[in-house]
Structures are given as C-alpha cells and as structure tokens.
Amino acid sequence: MKYYIVTKQVFDTLNKNNISFMKKNINKSLRLIATTDTVNDATVSFDTISTCSTYTFTNHTDWVGDGSGVEAWEIEQNFYISELDD
C-alpha cells in the first residue's frame, strides 16, 4: 500500500477501485489516500502508514482541527466508499 496527499483534481483522475482509504482535509481541497497505485503528481507521499499518520498529527489543523490526527489503525481499518464522496 502507498500513502499520499493529493489535490481534489488529482484524486478525481485516480482509479477509485484501487483506493482503500480517503479522508478530505478540513477545507476539502486535499485528500489523504491509501492506494495500490503509484501517484506521480501527489502533493506529499509517505513511505509508511506511520509517517502518514504522524503527518496528520503534526498538521492537525488541516486534517481534524482538534489537536489530534488520523491514527494508523483508522487508515488500515476504514474503507473508502466512492458513493459517499461528494
């Protein structure tokens, strides 16, 4: 699995069948994703799920806004359902 932050525009071009997790940032301009695909035009890429999670805690005002972040288990256990995306 690979972990990225991508813009909404890049996200819209990706194969949703290969995305296992997606979370929008607070202003909905970026997407934190887990995918089996390689994304060459990502804003940020992460080598591991733990570095991805740590990034959201360090930048919590962009992702959760309450001083916490996205836990690694949330990325592993939550599933992206494309029908719920706006």
Q: Specify the pTM.
A: 0.88
pLDDT tens for 26-78 read 999 999 999 999 999 999 999 999 999 999 999 888 888 888 888 999 888 87
The vertex-10 CA angle with 75 and 5, nearest 5°, equals 35
What mean pLDDT comes out for the span 10-24?
A: 93
Centre a 10 Å sphere on the Cβ of residue 63 and count the other Cβ atoms it contains: 21
Q: Which tokens belong to 39? A: 């994304």
Report which of residues 82 and 83 the model is more confident about. 82
What Rg do the C-alpha atoms of the chain give, in angstroms? 12
Cβ neighbours of 66 (radius 10 Å)? 8
Q: What is the predicted pLDDT for the residue at 67?
A: 83
